[in-house]
Structure 1
């Protein structure tokens, strides 16, 4: 039994207070996303939004959030994580207030962009702050609680979203973030300690601009492919811009003394496969609440509140599995936890794929969602711990920003791809009815066509989850491998 010194005990108490701060950040962002996933039809009906505007209410946030994560990871490395983290809370809170005052749909999209910038400051630094605060032997427990709070957000979000949309109006979907954001800002300012700043180095401005532009072009093209087709001018322009920008990014990063994206840090076997597995898990998982909520509203005719209650098995599964996986992480390697979670997530999506039918009993759908949730919670805890243990401490901010960016690319594509596959089954003239959740009132034939879309969507997500499980299994590092620049205490081992 290892003796606990007063200093170690004090560090652990501080670490758990830090965990409460970062967990509040994750809850705030998670609730903001999951409430809108369920309440989107209410917002669409209020603004009489078409399919393009409807999709970009969601995608604008995800696109900007994804493309700015690496930038804010680098800024936090240079200016201080505490300062950037708290600034993120402030910006997110103000943007949420203004979003509820939106006079039209495009002003709402603009406020979602500001929310995304605040969320980037929070997400790029939350995992790093926890990694710095916890002793290495307790990191898996802290990470399990941190990841588990995402399920709290996803648990509260759908119910709150449906209830608020039906009872208080769509504006409160955004305004509910304001008091929560103020509480998180105050608690964070009180708890988080200032961290030593690295010596002032020039920010890679050119690299940031080129990376942002390349990601924006790629995500725009990929998210619009399903609904507009490969020959669409928007898709072709986005793909062409991406192909031109990629070599420019590589050239700029090779010449920069402080590259925003140091590719040498991502060349190891563990980081390469673990990040790809994380991408696949995010792609397979992230649109599930949105897709299932649309299923219950558009195909079964449920109201937003009932649909919100119906998707709860997914976040319940994440919430139960994440802390359990954190405890298991003290006995099992993060690698084993990650692989087991990826396999469970695949099994849950397989259940949904095989039972996509309006006549399917709810308990079957609930079981598939619960298993998928348990798998995702387990995977996220194991995968995050595995990656963060392998990172060189001097580049935690930028590399974690890259890690979260990879996941967010999966989230963006999950939403864009799922909506494209789903709505392609009913034709362009009925897509607006799907987003507004009024399709079930039109005709049984249209609903039958939509069910084909649900089945194809689940099949795509299942295939991606299966690929993620294979990649997670390949993310076993060699015991002697050390990532470039890593100190001896952060050897890249699977333990």
Structure 2
């Protein structure tokens, strides 16, 4: 008599689970391509609009900020009205916003469309991991998660080259328009594949908590971007820092009193979840800006075009694409926390290579090795950490808890980009900062390039230290016992 693991019901569940994995993977492809293409093609957009450093930074930061602030909100909304409906609505919204972004008449309209894109992306990201966790049997979850994370790596693999090619040939508008057919396909396949799930118990949304978190992150990012473009003594930078400092205790007070807080620390009171999420924050802080920083290095310091820069950063997503499925397969024999620790250490090693070899004349193979090792570390960490956290979450309110998990990670992403851009722009002074974003600084003078290289060294040093901290935290997340 066949065991339940080999019976017809189990096989049917696995077939459905892999179809669900294809839908959620399309969501990551959509968002991964959108992010990685713009990271490389940003100088083309900046040159088209003649954007100053402040505007240039917010083309990226507006998306990251709004996406982060909305993750927990849409995890809660999905628990109320249905995960399938919110997930598919995210596809539709992201696709429409991508179409309109390519029609932007000025830089602030583009920023507004990036905000709308961010809302759609939050609806997708807040629910994709939960959908795939519900679909897979527990013993196969690491395999499904490895493929799921691996598709993001594939998107990031294609994105830099695609973004550079588009920027050099078709025009910056197509950086956004390439999302439209992918969004239409994802929406159609998701509508056909995903089963309807009854909504969860009706619980209030923490609107005030969401607003305060959004305001605090906005103030912090404003301070970082102004410090980079106009100096840390800029009145706007100082005001942003003061507002952020004032809002932090307000967030803590409101969240303690809220019946269903957006930052519910009680859900992460256990040792494993607390340290695993702190490790995820550190990994995102060390990882998120790497492709952007290196793409700017090749364009601003080495003077290459966007397409060549896109090819040059490929070792990062190649490493992620190699490591994610390998880590997923190992997950059946190796504890998830061990994959997280190993991934963090690889990321630290890769960033260390970039730090020690930073220079305008460094042979490319040295840079490529550092990028590949860092990419492998990110792929292994994301697979191990995501599996560990999702297996440790309570069944009730899974959507909002996962939304909080993603929010913690995305705060790291937001701060990574904001901090890296601030350090790089600040290293050459306000007057040359615009040339960094436009990718044209290498045409000015060797002195300016060397100033910029000092900025890269400082950036890599900070990211390397953060990655090492993440490894320590991942090791501490071994068990609640």
Number of equivalent positions: 479
Aligned counterparts of 2:180 and 2:138: Cα–Cα separation in 1: 35
**Match in the other structure for 2:399:** 397
Q: Which residue of 1 aligns with 2:438?
A: 436
Alignment counterpart, residue 21 of structure 1, candidates 5, 20, 23: 23
1:396-446 deviation line (CA, Å, top 9, x unaligned): 111111111111111111111111111222111111111111111111221
Q: Hey, what does 1:382 align to over in structure 2? A: 384
Pairing of 1:11-410 with structure 2 (within 5 A): 11-410=13-412
Preserved contact between residue 92 and residue 184 of structure 2 (Cα < 8 Å): yes
Deviation string, structure 1 residues 87-121 (Cα, Å, up to 9, x no partner): 11111000000000000011000000000011110
Whole-Å Cα distance in 2 between the matches of residues 223 and 5 of structure 1? Answer: 57
2:139 & 2:160 partners in 1: Cα distance? 35
CA distance, structure 2, for counterparts of residue 118 and residue 337 of structure 1: 31
Task: Check 1:477–1:221 CA distance in 2 against 1; reply closer, same or farther (3 A cut).
Answer: farther
Please state how far the C-alpha of 1:461 moved relative to its aligned partner. 1.0
Residue of structure 1 equivalent to 2:470 = 468
Unaligned runs of 5+ in 1: 480-495
Residue 488 of structure 1 corresponds to none
Q: TM-score, normalised by structure 1?
A: 0.94
Taking the aligned partners of 1:321 and 1:37, their CA distance within structure 2 comes to 22
| Aligned mates of 1:297, 1:214 — CA distance in 2 | 33
Q: SS of 1:425's equivalent?
A: helix
TM-score of the pair, normalised by structure 2: 0.97
Counterpart for residue 456 of structure 1: 458
3-state SS of paired residue (2:171): coil
How many Å separate the matches in 2 of 1:423 and 1:262?
A: 36
Within 1, Cα distance between the matches of 2:155 and 2:350? Answer: 21
User: Does residue 6 of structure 1 match 2:8?
Assistant: yes
Offset at residue 47 of structure 1 (A) = 0.6
Q: Could you tell me how far 1:223 is from its partner in structure 2?
A: 4.3
5+ long unaligned stretches in structure 2: none
Contact 1:223 1:412 in 2 (8 A): no
> Alpha-carbon deviation of 1:478?
3.1
d(CA) in 1 for partners of 2:211, 2:436: 36
Q: Matched residues in 2 for 1:295 and 1:257: separation?
A: 47
Provide, for residues 269-313 of structure 1, a one-character-per-residue CA deviation record: whole Å limited to 9, x for no partner.
111111111111111111111111111111111110011011101
Aligned mates of 2:225, 2:144 — CA distance in 1: 35
Report the CA distance shift for 1:269/1:400 in structure 2 as closer, same or farther (over 3 A).
same
Deviation at 1:229, TM superposition (A): 4.1
Mapped partners of 2:131, 2:225: distance in 1? 32
Q: C-alpha distance in 1, partners of 2:362/2:294?
A: 13
- Give me the whole-angstrom Cα distance separating, in 1, the residues matched to 2:224 and 2:434: 20
RMSD: 1.5
Query: CA separation in 1, counterparts of 2:381 and 2:396?
Result: 26
Distance 2:227 2:272 in 1: 32
Identify which range, 105-114 or 358-367, moves more after superposition. 358-367
